[in-house]
Amino acid sequence: MLEWTTEQFLTFVSKLKYNPTELEASRKALNYAGFFVYSDILTMDENQIYESRLYEGYACKWKDIFDEWVFKTTNIKKIEDICHSLVIDKGKAYLAICKIHRN
């Protein structure tokens, strides 16, 4: 809990060096690596046509799985089951790390 007055807090915030260019660059780097902010996923255009580049030798992206460009495997089914069992509260931050054991 902050024990500052509104004025103290706003003075502190005004001294922060906010750099939206760096923030956007970080977000793009994460997206390129296949990581997306959950709220961004929810706001993506459902009607937008996605053309996978998976079979051109590019790495698999979450959209390839979501739009069923990949063949179903038991691992994908396990991931889907985990995702459907998650309860996500609006306004809270989450980090998901999945480790799939190969037989």
pLDDT 10s digits, 28-84: 888 777 777 777 777 766 667 778 888 888 888 877 877 777 777 777 778 778 877
Does a structural domain hold residue 62? yes
Q: In the prediction, which pLDDT does 98 show?
A: 58
- Number of structural domains (the chain) is 1
Is the pLDDT at 95 greater than 80? The verdict is no
Owning domain of residue 59: 35-103
Does a structural domain hold residue 55? yes
Does a structural domain hold residue 18? no
**Measured in whole angstroms, how far is the alpha carbon of residue 92 from the centre of its chain?**
13
Burial class (CB in 10 A: 0-12, 13-18, 19+), 84: exposed
Tokens representing residue 95 in the block: 């980090």
Does a structural domain hold residue 22? no
CB atoms within 10 A of CB 61: 19
Does a structural domain hold residue 102? yes
